[in-house]
Amino acid sequence: MIKSQIGIENFTKNFLRKCGKPFPVSTHEGVAVKAEINYGRLIAKCPFCTGAELIDRNDKRFFCLSCFNKSVNGNWIRVEFPDNLTEIEAVLEQRTETNQNWQHGEEVMFLKSENTKNLGVV
């Protein structure tokens, strides 16, 4: 399984406390980010700045620790995961961690063809 079980809420709470920033109390529904896999980690890129953060499949909220989601008054934003995340992970797990990368929109068949081409895996 791709790494994702990090406890986003506790991590964010501790980081914000150390920075003297308030903890988000609600989720802004008008903005969402798409999940990606980068070097075997579930991440999302901030829609407001150049930041990116680890995300957790069990906590579908995103908070940027670079801009503090200032554009949405410091609230969480939703994370959209692909319906076939488990299938994507299974294909990527055949690769070394540095090659476990997937961006929203990439089809599983494309990932499989890359595995066949580069690893000889069918």
Say if residues 52 and 43 touch (Cβ distance below 8 Å). Answer: yes
Question: Hey, how many other C-beta atoms are within 10 angstroms of the C-beta on 99?
Answer: 14
Print the domain residue range for 85: 8-119
Percent of the chain predicted with pLDDT > 90: 80
The model's pTM: 0.85
> What's residue 121's pLDDT?
74
How many structural domains does the chain have? 1
> What's residue 55's pLDDT?
93
> What's residue 7's pLDDT?
77
**What 3-state class would DSSP assign to 34?**
strand
Average pLDDT over residues 11-28: 91
Residue 1 lies in a domain: no
Residue 111 lies in a domain: yes
Residue 58 lies in a domain: yes
Residue 34 lies in a domain: yes
Q: E strand or H helix at 119, and its extent?
A: helix 108-119
Confidence of residue 6 (pLDDT cuts 50, 70, 90): low
Q: Cα–chain-centroid distance for residue 41?
A: 7
Scan for tokens 């829609």, then name that residue: 47
> What's residue 81's pLDDT?
96
Residue 3 lies in a domain: no
Average pLDDT over residues 47-65: 94
> What's residue 37's pLDDT?
97
